[in-house]
Amino acid sequence: MTLLVDAGAVGLRWARLEAGRPGAVAVAAARELETEAWPARLGELPAVPRVLVANTAGPAFEARFRAFSAQTWGVEPEFAAAAAEQLGLRNAYRRPGALGVDRWLAMLAAWHRERAPLVVATAGTAFTVDLVDGGGRHRGGVLVPGERLMREALHAQTSGVAAASLLDAAAVEGAFGVNTAGAVQQGARLALAALIDRVAERLAEAEGRAPRVLLAGGAAEDVAPLVRSAARLAPELVLEGLALVAAEGRA
């Protein structure tokens, strides 16, 4: 059995590799990464001969996971990294490994699915949008704060907004907030949706056809209804990318 692990700031997700794809996905919340919750749950799995990890949770998590894997299964985990070229996808970065592994794996999975011009957005703590042309060439991307970070930045710098936001839960009518908390929430979500649409427009201009737009990440469902482009949710692109790397035989 091969175990696929996606470790990020919002938590830990894992699945077994089944017939070349991720099986049922299990989740540990971000707060559980510093507790014994995820080791206890992963430790219940039977012997795991191979473990592939996409780690954006940081070096401390990597060290802890290496020790856990060695002690629990006697296995040295493989940590995926972005490459200059892999599975028909070419990286735009001059230093390929500097590209976040979550972005790379999401693009690999999206390219494998579509083989067409792509906009791949991932909504997490950070919000990333990457472009892939019809020939499989990564055209670069953008990275901005996610919804939660946008809200926190606004609250931290504007005491009146922060105070008003605490008075009521977010209230929304249509796409717009009808109290302060709702206005802050929808402002962030509309900004992210508009970013996707603008990137999709630019890629369509370059390619002469509308790109496929795929949204991944824990907050994708909140942003997707506000995107004007024809967008589809694909929540497990990172794990799907890990599955492709596993089939290829290298991380």
The DSSP string of 90-112 is: E---SSGGGS-HHHHHHHHHHHH
Q: What is the DSSP letter of 137?
A: B
Cα dihedral 162, 163, 164, 166 in deg (nearest 10): 90
β-pairing verdict for 85-86 and 89-90: antiparallel
Contact predicate 3/50, CB 8 Å = yes
> Directed axis angle between helix 101-114 and helix 237-248, to 10°?
80
First to last CA, the chain: 16
User: b/e map of 69-88 (b: 16 or more CB within 10 Å)?
Assistant: beebbebebbbbbbbeebbe
**Would residue 197 show up in a list of annotated catalytic residues for this protein?**
no
Q: Look at residues 148, 137, 121 and name the one whose alpha carbon lies nearest to residue 235.
A: 121
- Name the active-site residue from 6, 102, 130, 222: 102
**CB-count burial class (<10 Å; 0-12, 13-18, 19+) for 226:** middle
Task: Say whether 133 sits in a helix, a strand or coil.
Answer: coil
The amino acid that residue 56 corresponds to is T
Measured distance CA(89)–CA(136) in Å, rounded: 5
Active site amino acids: 102
